């Protein structure tokens, strides 16, 4: 009984670390290469220790004294005396509230820390950047020197009529649960048949007017049907007048 209680108590103590990491990590951009279980567990235990140290200190000092000696006895699996059990029983609801609030606080702390990282270190080259390549690439957050104001996408896609090149302004993107790119959403979409590139371009017919506009506000392209994907980053710099720089 004491061993089971000890194991359950340990689980309650380290669970906030996992909750914090789960809230902190950028889940919609997870990579396929997961962290080893040992590394994740070690990080979660360290986070749980820090969270418990701060949270227990606040509760013990300001709200309700904590019997740390009794906690250590439960952790070690030592058999509790009848007096200790009778002392613990009326406070079960307080213990329950303690951990419920702690779990919510851990989740909130993870979300808060995530937002602060994106606010103060939003770029891919930051040492605090998340392992979320699609997010940084398709948001244009490469570095402070390369912070794109807008992005254009060129994508070749096979259809029943042949291979087409789609071109437009990137509006949004969606990922699968495994972190793979699922679909792209572009506006001001145009397309042209790749076969048209086989004929030489004369002065009257430029590469741009080979494209024809696709009616609609947003075009959704499935990534699994894309053969090649090209990303163009546009940076607006202001000197004597506004200029636009384009980088592929």
Q: What is the mean pLDDT of residues 108-114?
A: 91
Q: Where are the beta strands (DSSP E) in 108-180?
A: 150-159, 162-175
Q: What tokens appear for 133 in the block?
A: 């390549």
CATH 2.170.190.11 fits 133-247, yes or no: no
> 164 versus 243: which is more confidently predicted?
164
Render the burial of 202-229: b for 16+ CB within 10 Å, e for the rest: eeeeeeeebbeeeeeeebebebeebeee
> 146 versus 248: which is more confidently predicted?
146
Interval 170-228: pLDDT, tens: 999 988 776 678 899 999 888 888 776 655 555 445 555 667 888 888 899 888 888 89
pLDDT at 39: 57
Give the C-alpha separation, 25 to 16, whole Å. Answer: 14
pTM of the complete model: 0.60
With bands split at pLDDT 50, 70 and 90, how would you rate the model's confidence at 134?
Answer: confident
Share the mean pLDDT of the chain: 79
With bands split at pLDDT 50, 70 and 90, how would you rate the model's confidence at 29?
Answer: very low
In the Cβ-directed half-sphere of 29, how many Cα atoms lie within 13 Å?
15
A 10 A CB-CB count for 124 gives 18
Tokens 């009616």, located at residue: 215
| Lowest pLDDT segment from 43-57, 61-75, 107-121, 123-137 | 123-137
Considering the chain, what percentage of its residues have pLDDT values greater than 70? 81
Q: What tokens appear for 127 in the block?
A: 């040492």
Q: What tokens appear for 137 in the block?
A: 């690439």
pLDDT at 217: 86
State whether residue 162 is helix, strand or coil: strand
Give the C-alpha separation, 231 to 248, whole Å. Answer: 6
Instruction: Give the residue extent of every domain in the chain.
Output: 2-120, 133-247
């Amino acid at each position: 009984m004491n061993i089971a209680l000890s194991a359950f108590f340990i689980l309650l103590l380290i669970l906030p670390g996992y909750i914090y990491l789960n809230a902190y990590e950028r889940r919609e951009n997870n990579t396929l290469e997961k962290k080893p279980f040992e590394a994740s567990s070690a990080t979660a235990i360290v986070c749980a220790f820090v969270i418990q140290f701060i949270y227990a200190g606040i509760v013990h000092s300001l709200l309700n004294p904590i019997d740390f000696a009794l906690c250590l006895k439960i952790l070690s699996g030592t058999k509790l005396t009848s007096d200790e059990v009778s002392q613990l029983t009326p406070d079960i609801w307080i213990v329950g509230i303690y951990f419920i609030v702690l779990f919510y606080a851990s989740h909130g702390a993870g979300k808060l820390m995530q937002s602060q990282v994106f606010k103060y270190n939003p770029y891919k080259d930051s040492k605090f950047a998340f392992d979320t390549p699609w997010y940084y690439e398709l948001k244009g957050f490469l570095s402070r020197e390369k912070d794109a104001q807008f992005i254009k996408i060129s994508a070749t896609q096979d259809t029943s009529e042949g291979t087409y090149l789609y071109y437009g302004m990137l509006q949004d993107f969606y990922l699968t649960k495994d972190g793979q790119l699922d679909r792209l959403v572009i506006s001001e979409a145009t397309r042209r048949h790749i076969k048209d590139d086989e004929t030489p371009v004369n002065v009257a017919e430029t590469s741009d007017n080979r494209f024809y506009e696709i009616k609609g506000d947003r075009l959704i392209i499935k990534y699994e049907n894309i053969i090649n994907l090209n990303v163009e980053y546009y940076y607006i710099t202001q000197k004597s007048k506004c200029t636009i720089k384009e980088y592929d």
